[in-house]
Amino acid sequence: MRIEFIIPTYNRVPHLITMLGSLQSQSNPNWTAHVVADCPEEDVQEAMKIVIAFFNDPRIKLTILPERHNDWGHTPRQHGLDNATEEWVIMTGEDNYYVPEFVDIMLEESKNQHFVYCDMVHDWINRDYIPIQSKLQLGKIDIGSFMTKTNMAQKIKLKKDHEWADWFFVQEFQNKYKVAKYKKVNRILYVHN
């Protein structure tokens, strides 16, 4: 089993370096990463190519979309999801990162599950980093804090016109898969910046 991380990006190359570094630091190597760039300027595209080459990791691939969408990363996420090939998928962001045990713990907890999520540290309240106990409700879950079976997720489309597309995705997943098995990991494994 592998987790595929879909990482939308635009022009924040330093964040992307931190994100990819957190993946290369994973104790479990069973992951891939698909970086999907939302048509950044040419010099940023070149910088991204240099970063990917620097990591020199066949698990990391880069796609540059031919036109800019500017929709909170949802079009790049959707592109990555539509092209995902691993058993599990996480649609995250370039400004996020994961603790080194993330892949190991999440894959261990994924047995006989369809949707697995963890607690997180988030900076969305007063721009202070605070721990959040994730829940399957609006404002208590972030798109980078959960993974789903890829084949199930691919039947759901992100609502690209809304900042809260991650919550709407979770809600649609719950509505579509009423008998799905959900697993909460009561540990902080994810940091959202």
Which mean pLDDT values do the consecutive 10-residue runs of the chain (193 residues) have? 96 93 98 96 93 96 94 91 98 94 98 96 74 87 94 89 78 93 96 87
Q: Report if residue 80 sits inside a domain.
A: yes
> Residue 126: what pLDDT?
64
Take residue 191 and report the two structure tokens written for it: 């940091």
> Residue 159: what pLDDT?
75
CB of 144 closer than 8 Å to CB of 97: no
> Residue 110: what pLDDT?
97
CB of 177 closer than 8 Å to CB of 148: no
Residue span of the structural domain in which 149 resides: 3-117+142-182
Number of domains making up the chain: 1
Q: Report if residue 187 sits inside a domain.
A: no
Q: Report if residue 193 sits inside a domain.
A: no
- Report the CATH number at residue 39: 3.90.550.10
Take residue 88 and report the two structure tokens written for it: 């599990």
Q: Report if residue 13 sits inside a domain.
A: yes
Q: Report if residue 57 sits inside a domain.
A: yes
Take residue 90 and report the two structure tokens written for it: 């996480």
CA distance 82 to 52: 22
Q: Report if residue 189 sits inside a domain.
A: no
Instruction: State which H helix or E strand residue 61 sits in.
Output: strand 60-64
> Residue 31: what pLDDT?
98
Q: Report if residue 173 sits inside a domain.
A: yes
Residue 90: name the closest of 132, 145, 135 by CA: 145
> Residue 166: what pLDDT?
78
> pTM of the full predicted structure?
0.94
Instruction: State which H helix or E strand residue 147 sits in.
Output: strand 146-149
CA distance 164 to 126: 18
Q: Report if residue 125 sits inside a domain.
A: no
For residue 182, the 8-state DSSP code is: E
